[in-house]
Structure 1
Amino acid sequence: MPADAERFILITGGPGSGKTTLIDHLEEAGFSRSYEAGRGVIQDQTAIGGRALPWNDPDLFAELMLCWELRSYRSAAARAAPVFFDRGIPDIVGYLRLEGRPVPAHLQTAARTFRYHPRVFIAPPWPEIYRQDSERKQSLAEAERTYESMVATYAEYGYELVRLPRVTVEERARYVMDHLR
Structure 2
Amino acid sequence: MSEIQNQWYVITGPPCCGKSTTIELLSRRGFWVRPEVAREYIDREMRKGREIQEIRASMQNFQVDILMNSLETEQYLPKEKIIFFDRGVPDSLAYFRLHGIPVEKYMKFIKPARYRKVFYLDPLDNYSVDYARVESVNERDKLAHLLWQAYSDLDFHVERVPVLAAQERVEYILHRITQDPC
TM-score w.r.t. the length of structure 1 is 0.88
Which piece of structure 1 moves more, 165-174 or 137-146? 137-146
Give the counterpart letter for 1:116 in structure 2: Y
In structure 2, the partner of 1:126 is 124
CA distance in structure 2 between the aligned counterparts of 1:10 and 1:112, rounded to whole angstroms:
15
2:136 equivalent among 136, 139, 157: 139
Give the counterpart letter for 1:53 in structure 2: I
Residue segments in structure 1 that go unaligned for 5+ positions in a row: none
Q: Displacement, 1:156? A: 0.1
In structure 2, the partner of 1:82 is 82
In structure 2, the partner of 1:110 is 109
Q: Displacement, 1:21? A: 0.3
Distance 1:150 1:66, change over 3 A: same
Residues 11 and 85 in structure 2, CA contact (< 8 A), matched pair in contact too:
yes
In structure 1, the partner of 2:97 is 97
1:10-159 equivalences under 5 Å are 10-48=10-48, 49=50, 53-54=55-56, 56-77=57-78, 80-105=80-105, 107-117=106-116, 119-128=117-126, 130-159=127-156
**% identical aligned pairs:** 26
- Counting matched residue pairs gives 175
- 1:171 and 2:172 matched: no
Runs of 4+ in 1 over 4 A off after TM superposition: none
Give the counterpart letter for 1:178 in structure 2: H
Give the counterpart letter for 2:139 in structure 1: E
Deviation sequence 1:73-107 (CA, Å, 0-9, x none): 12323x632000010111111101011111142x2
Distance 1:40 1:64, change over 3 A: same
CA distance in structure 2 between the aligned counterparts of 1:67 and 1:140, rounded to whole angstroms:
27
Residues 52 and 60 in structure 1, CA contact (< 8 A), matched pair in contact too:
no
Secondary structure of the equivalent of 1:89? coil
In structure 1, the partner of 2:159 is 162
Secondary structure of the equivalent of 2:76? helix
The RMSD of aligned alpha carbons is 1.8
Secondary structure of the equivalent of 1:96? helix
